[in-house]
Structure 1
């Protein structure tokens, strides 16, 4: 099973992102592989292929880690591309969050590494992926995208309470990935 750990985005915010991306989709067409609004999530840790015995241990560990953290408020704000405008690959939405989100990401990384999962080379950057840019995007399309994203750089898309981690199974299909929830681990530590 191909698995990842994420924070699920509230449906109202998924809808706000769908409204924001609609004119971009019309302008950019197939030069971007857009994430379906219902699939937009905050990836905390990509795990890759996991067999059933490891999945059972993983679920216990995720419940333990989630229990160390209280629910937290996340604000979706700003947008841009990774890695840069010379070679844009990913259209992202930024996330303003308390330091606890980075602490959660770090604990997931170190604790799951001790279970044999590979460590992520890049530092954790809280973001949502709106779309992945294809190689054939024209320079006119890049300029249009840049203009629109820079105009919305400080735009807020709303705030939500993150109160659980979700372990998802990802099945790759021709029409795009399908995600199935395997575990919901509550962020259940008392608020400070």
Structure 2
């Protein structure tokens, strides 16, 4: 079985715990086939797929050097959304307030991966936290229900403190194993 790797912004433990409660409260209202394990919650920055060690090492070096001087920053989770068909979404996610800091960190990671020889998705960056996959409701999915069930009316903010290189273990739960950690610079 192929192993996949990806770089992601790590969510702090406290935020994962809040999102775990959120997921638990939404499961009955939102019948998705699989819900993401709380330890696996993250914001993907670059999906590498099956990656040779030399390329990962090259990307890691550039990322580590660039993120050393990049300060931690605040992010806010504030809305819900889906990817895929309107009536039967493939992905159910929590969205983030626009952040130039997040875009900058993503650009650093993306550039480092490209420079190391990775071919990455060309789609525009759409930062999100995947919470569930594959709509399993008997009725068609109604996008209007997203506002009704949105638990982020009171904001969920957290400090983005590090980027992580994850390795995927299909068939396991949690399925993402942190391989390399890249701390952002602490602010005074």
| TM-score, scaled relative to structure 1 | 0.83
Higher helix share: 1
- Using the alignment, how far apart are the partners of 1:158 and 1:185 within structure 2? 23
One of 1, 4, 7 as aligned partner of 1:5: 7
Gaps of 5+ in 1: none
Q: Could you tell me how far 1:156 is from its partner in structure 2?
A: 3.9
Distance 1:157 1:189 in 2: 23
5+ residue gaps, structure 2: none
Match of 2:16 in 1: 14
The number of equivalent residue pairs is: 185
Q: Give the match for residue 178 of structure 2.
A: 181
- Asked if 2 retains the 8 angstrom alpha-carbon contact of 1:78 and 1:156, the reply is no
User: Match of 1:119?
Assistant: 120
Cα distance in 2, alignment partners of residues 152 and 65 from structure 1: 39
> Kindly tell me: are residues 177 and 13 of structure 1, through their superposed partners in 2, closer, same or farther at Cα, counting changes over 3 Å?
closer
Which residue of the other structure, out of 160, 163, 166, is the alignment partner of 1:165?
163
Q: Which runs of 4+ in 1 moved over 6 A?
A: none
Q: Distance in 2 between matches of 1:34 and 1:157?
A: 22
3-state SS of paired residue (1:107): helix
Query: Is the alpha carbon distance of 1:94 and 1:25 closer, same or farther for their aligned partners in structure 2, counting shifts above 3 Å?
Result: same
Note the 1:133-144 alignment, pairs <5 A: 133-134=134-135, 136-139=136-139, 142-143=141-142
Determine the C-alpha separation between the residues in 2 that align with 1:92 and 1:22: 14
3-state SS of paired residue (1:6): strand
Q: Normalized against structure 2, the TM-score is what?
A: 0.85
Root-mean-square deviation (Å): 2.4
Q: Which residue of 2 aligns with 1:43?
A: 44
